[in-house]
């Protein structure tokens, strides 16, 4: 539900083309991904328009790309401008919610924006949530400094998800009354978690899953555009980042503030099993069945006539990730081969 790019390509790039989009999409079947949400983070209207237009172009050119893009995720620009909640998003482009601007972007995308992350404390947020929900767009709370009352009001207005709960937050918050506990305790909200081993400690993953349970949790890898690149420093219009030898992706010049993830979904599956003791089925459901449910897509069942989105894999004995042997999307082989033994 949250893929920002891969292999040096960001969906926010001002120079993004349909060919670049296809290059990113082609990377993910080898990690067991058949469908994903290209995610565009806080940036100028021009950059968002270019990115959404390129995604639409790729989908309209190739049926397989149209199937793979199950919807675009607009993460910002309607988020908190405060340090901490803003995360690594560019402060210059953070702004109040703007329904007219969103409608323009939705038109440019070919009506592909299915998920919007916003901060409910912003001016006009409640009306925006109601309008978006009425148009079948899922609203997720994230990158917020909202009060508990504002969180509850957002859920009352139609918000259904929390974006990467525990991240995009202040380093210090009130020990009782805070926006993390408020979202965690509301049974109406599902939560998404980044279980890459860098964004959340294992103990917090266990706590979140014990409270929300795997049925109310979505796992995302939050792959940045620098995922799949070798360690080093990288620069684009979003700023300078550094991919450390440990696999941790940070804003350059320090080791604490993360700038997305450099890992993929299959790593998160294995980490969830290791960190929280969930079953393999529960871990995979959190990356597939649960996102399909919240976005309103068909879930996969092993029966005749059902959607044939399947992976063939082995549990790796040497790496902390799944060994994907084959990925099948809508009955078509997307990666690897199927060997009958």
pLDDT above 80 for 277: yes
* Mean of pLDDT values over 63-69: 97
Q: How confident is the model at residue 42 (pLDDT cuts 50, 70, 90)?
A: very high
Residue 288 has pLDDT above 90, yes or no: yes
What is residue 315's predicted lDDT score, i.e. its pLDDT?
Answer: 87
pLDDT in tens, 305-318: 999 999 999 988 77
| Across 217-244, average pLDDT | 93
User: Is residue 320 one of the residues assigned to a domain?
Assistant: no
Is pLDDT of 321 > 90? no
Residue 315 lies in a domain: no
Rounded to an integer, the average pLDDT of 134-162 is: 98
> Is 177 a domain residue?
yes
pLDDT tens per residue, range 178-209: 999 999 999 999 999 999 999 999 999 999 99
Secondary structure of the chain as H, E, C letters? CCECEECCEECCCCCCCHHHHHHHHHHHHHHCCCCECEEEECCCHHHHHHHHHHHHHHHHHCHHHHHHECCEEEECCCCCCCCCCCCCCCHHHCCCCCHHHHHHHHHHCCCCEEEEEECCCCCCHHHHHHHHHHCCCEEEECCCCCCHHHHHHHHHHCCCEECCCCCCCCCCCCCCCCHHHHHHHCCCCEEEEECCCCCCCHHHHHHHHHHHCHHHEEEECCECCCCCCCCEEEEECCEEEEECCCCCEEECCCCCCECCECCCHHHHHHHHHHHHCCCHHHHHHHHCHHHHHHHCCCCCCCCCCCCCCEEEEEECCCCCCEEEEEEEECCEEEEECCCCC
CATH number, domain of 49, equals 3.20.20.140
Asked, for residue 182, whether it belongs to a domain, the answer is yes
255 — pLDDT class (breaks 50, 70, 90): confident
Query: Does residue 341 carry a pLDDT above 80?
Result: no
List the domain range (segments joined by +) for residue 248. Answer: 5-305
Average pLDDT over residues 270-295: 96
| Residue 155, in any domain of the structure | yes
What is the reported pLDDT for 256?
Answer: 85
Indicate whether 337 belongs to any domain: no
Q: Is residue 311 part of a domain?
A: no
pLDDT of 143 higher than 90 = yes
Q: Is residue 317 part of a domain?
A: no
- pLDDT tier, 214 (very low <50, low <70, confident <90, very high otherwise): very high
Structural domain total, the chain:
1
């Amino acid at each position: 539900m949250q893929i920002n790019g891969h292999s040096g390509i960001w969906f926010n790039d001002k120079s993004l083309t349909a060919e670049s989009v296809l290059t990113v999409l082609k990377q993910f079947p080898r990690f067991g991904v058949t469908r994903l949400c290209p995610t565009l983070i806080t940036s100028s209207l021009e950059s968002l328009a270019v990115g959404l237009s390129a995604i639409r172009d790729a989908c309209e050119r190739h049926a397989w790309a149209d199937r793979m893009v199950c919807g675009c995720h607009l993460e910002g620009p309607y988020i908190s401008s405060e340090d901490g909640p803003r995360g690594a998003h560019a402060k210059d482009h953070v702004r109040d919610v703007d329904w007219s601007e969103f409608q323009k972007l939705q038109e440019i995308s070919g009506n592909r924006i299915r998920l919007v992350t916003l901060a409910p404390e912003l001016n006009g947020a409640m009306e925006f949530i109601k309008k978006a929900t009425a148009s079948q767009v899922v609203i997720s709370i994230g990158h917020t400094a909202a009060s508990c009352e504002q969180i509850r009001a957002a859920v009352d207005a139609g918000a259904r998800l929390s974006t990467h709960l525990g991240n995009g937050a202040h380093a210090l918050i009130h020990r009782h009354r805070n926006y993390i506990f408020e979202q965690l305790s509301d049974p109406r909200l599902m939560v998404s978690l980044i279980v890459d081993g860098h964004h959340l400690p294992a103990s917090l993953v266990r706590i979140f899953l014990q409270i929300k349970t795997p049925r109310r949790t979505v796992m995302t890898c939050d792959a940045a555009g620098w995922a799949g690149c070798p360690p080093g420093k990288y620069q684009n219009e979003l700023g300078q980042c550094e991919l450390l030898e440990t696999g941790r992706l940070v804003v350059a010049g320090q080791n604490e503030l993360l700038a997305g993830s450099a890992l993929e979904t299959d790593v998160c599956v294995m980490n969830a099993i290791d960190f929280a003791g969930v079953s393999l089925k529960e871990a995979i459901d959190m990356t597939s069945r649960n996102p399909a449910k919240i976005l309103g897509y068909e879930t996969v069942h092993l029966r005749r006539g059902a959607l044939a989105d399947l992976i063939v894999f082995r549990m790796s004995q040497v790496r902390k990730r799944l060994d994907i042997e084959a990925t099948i999307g809508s009955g078509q082989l997307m990666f690897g081969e199927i060997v009958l033994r």
